[in-house]
Amino acid sequence: AARNKVQYICQNCGAVSPRWQGRCDDCGEWNALVEESGATGVGAGPKRGSGKGRVIKLERLAGSTAEAPRTRTGIAEFDRVTGGGLVRGSALLVGGDPGIGKSTLLLQAAAALANGGHRVVYVSGEEAVAQIRMRAERLGLADASVKLAAETSVENILATLALEETPALLIADSIQTMWTDAADSAPGTVTQVRASAQALIRYAKQSGAAVVFVGHVTKDGQIAGPRVVEHMVDGVLYFEGEGGHHFRILRAVKNRFGPTDEIGVFEMGGAGLREVPNPSELFLGERNSKTPGAAVFAGMEGTRPVLVEIQALVAPTTLGTPRRAVIGWDQSRLAMILAVLEAHCRVRLGDCDVYLNVAGGLRISEPAADLAVAAALVSSRLNAPLPPDCAYFGEVSLSGAVRPVSHAPSRLKESGKLGFAQAVLPAASAGQDVAGMTTRGIGQLVELVAEIAAR
Ligand code: TYD
Ligand code: MG
């Protein structure tokens, strides 16, 4: 009887409600509850009687936790973000906007693994096998021994896999197209997506294959429907790119087996994605020494230093309330820096529009960017270009003090490597000089402002 019970499932977060409501109790989304009848599929779990519970002594597991067994794809930027390769028996979700290059990335990873002698199965619910072949040809991967299948039924996929040796990697592109008999609702619904993911994750756990799901993201940056999948998988990677730019950033937002602060950088070209091992060259923009308002920030993305240009435009406003527009940085952090400049450094900004942009579409979350942001703002406000061979880093406190940040030596080394001859940094971090570079430690933001004003 339970089979025909009607329930309402939030298409945003997957919460189950016994009656229809205008607003989901769990996530607060309006008009997201949809009637889905029948077996929950979700709770259906493993088929009864299929697997007898097996008890393993804890001590036998010892050692297996120390270092998860991984398979490197050989695409260094991808391996960096996962934390050293795909973990056996784990499930990963790769999300991103349609057309950003998810299928391309995974096909390249699949081919790299296959060329390394691993078995890889690529199941597409979006494209026909001939289409995937064409893409592979364009990528110069036509010879790779990746097994391709155009299939959307999870039962069919699992039946096919059961006939063959377990692959090292199974790719399901996309999870939104997959459906299973275990759930009665229509394909594409949260229930189907969740039940399909659950079945494939169970396969991963039992077989030891790594499973990668592709998920399309909605405009507001959330993975439509498959948001529920985010909670089920071991890792979630986002593949992002800025409109008009050719490069793409792979970022981990959840990673049970590795870091979440590493980024992988790629460039999309005519023959697919090219790895960018030295991203600073992308984010430095076209350096023009004559323009005021540009400051180079020596930042860190995970364990890797990345230099990026911060661009500011401060101009008298024509509006009652001046505009504050930020791309790539935190709006409230900008408000704080502006307040500190007004209060402690006598830089008048209240009657100015302020635009701040991080070059190349990178998103920065480090407070260490404060000093570079302040330098760019002051440079634009005073119409005084900064020295083009100078890099900046340091956190600014509400009192206007410049506080030390981590990884000062790496930041300096990267700056030196890219031809920067000077760096302005927190006084407390000074004295760790790199050959060929002049560093200047400052204790208060006002010192930097005075220096720019004197230029
Ligand atoms: P795709 O991997 O299909 O995106 P997703 O799976 O995220 O929807 O990438 C599609 C885009 O990438 C498409 O606009 C064409 C472009 N592209 C290239 O520029 N070069 C290439 O070599 C390939 C294969 C695709
Ligand atoms: Mg695709």
Residue 132 located in a structural domain: yes
Tell whether 156 and 301 lie within a shared domain: no
**What separation, in Å, do the N-terminal and C-terminal C-alpha atoms of the chain show?**
81
Sign of CA dihedral 98, 100, 101, 102: negative
Cα(344)–Cα(428) distance, rounded to whole angstroms?
20
Cα(338)–Cα(57) distance, rounded to whole angstroms?
59
Residue 426 located in a structural domain: yes
* Domain's final residue, options 226, 247, 275: 275
Which residues' Cβ are closer than 6 Å to ligand 1? 96, 98-104, 135, 138-139, 268, 270-272
Q: What is the predicted pLDDT for the residue at 413?
A: 87
Cα(425)–Cα(430) distance, rounded to whole angstroms?
7
DSSP state of 4: G
* Domain's final residue, options 233, 251, 275: 275
**Are the C-beta atoms of residues 77 and 197 closer than 8 Å to each other?**
no
The environment of the single-atom ion ligand 2, i.e. residues with CB closer than 5 A, is 103
- Please report which ligand is nearest the Cα atom of 125: 2
Residue ranges in 237-314 assigned as alpha helix (H): 280-283
- Per-residue pLDDT tens for 365-386? 899 999 999 999 999 999 999 9
**Are the C-beta atoms of residues 289 and 385 closer than 8 Å to each other?**
yes
How many A from CA of 320 to the centre of ligand 2?
A: 46
Residue 64 located in a structural domain: no
Tell whether 366 and 449 lie within a shared domain: yes
Tell whether 240 and 330 lie within a shared domain: no
Tell whether 216 and 140 lie within a shared domain: yes
For 379, phi and psi rounded to 5 degrees?
A: -60, -45
Q: What is the predicted pLDDT for the residue at 47?
A: 46
Tell whether 145 and 263 lie within a shared domain: yes
Residue 297 located in a structural domain: yes
- Please report which ligand is nearest the Cα atom of 138: 1
Q: What is the pTM of this model?
A: 0.76
CATH of the domain at 298: 3.30.230.10
* Domain's final residue, options 241, 275, 309: 275
Ligand 1 atom 24: the closest Cα is on which residue?
Answer: 272
- Token match 């275990």: residue? 182
CATH of the domain at 221: 3.40.50.300
Tell whether 295 and 218 lie within a shared domain: no
- Atom number of ligand 1 nearest to Cα 173: 6
Q: What is the predicted pLDDT for the residue at 219?
A: 61
Tell whether 240 and 149 lie within a shared domain: yes
Cα 414 to chain center, whole Å? 23
How many A from CA of 128 to the centre of ligand 2?
A: 11
Distances 174 to 93, 97, 123 between C-alpha atoms, Å:
10, 12, 9
Ligand 1 atom 21: the closest Cα is on which residue?
Answer: 272
Residue 339 located in a structural domain: yes
Both structure tokens of 107: 């096909």
Cα(415)–Cα(422) distance, rounded to whole angstroms?
8
Both structure tokens of 445: 């933001």
- 402 contact partners, CB below 8 Å, separation of at least 6: 371, 394, 395, 396, 426, 427, 442, 443, 444, 445, 448
- Atom number of ligand 1 nearest to Cα 268: 19
How many A from CA of 251 to the centre of ligand 1?
A: 18
Residue 56 located in a structural domain: no
Give the residue, out of 102, 247, 268, 275, with the most ligand 1 atoms within 8 A of its beta carbon, to mutate for a pocket test.
268
- Residues belonging to the binding site for ATP are 96-103
pLDDT less than 70: residues of the chain: 1-4, 37-54, 56-67, 218-226, 243-244, 285-289, 432-433
Tell whether 435 and 370 lie within a shared domain: yes
Q: What is the predicted pLDDT for the residue at 43?
A: 44
Range of the domain at 77: 70-275
- Please report which ligand is nearest the Cα atom of 266: 1
Residue 44 located in a structural domain: no
CA atoms within 13 A on the CB side of 33: 18
Tell whether 1 and 134 lie within a shared domain: no
Tell whether 258 and 286 lie within a shared domain: no
Q: How many domains does the chain have?
A: 3
Tell whether 173 and 256 lie within a shared domain: yes
Residue 60 located in a structural domain: no
Tell whether 220 and 304 lie within a shared domain: no
Cα(129)–Cα(38) distance, rounded to whole angstroms?
33
Ligand 1 atom 13: the closest Cα is on which residue?
Answer: 99
- Residues belonging to the binding site are 96-103
Distances 445 to 295, 373, 384 between C-alpha atoms, Å:
15, 11, 17
Distances 320 to 211, 314, 335, 429, 442 between C-alpha atoms, Å:
54, 16, 17, 42, 36
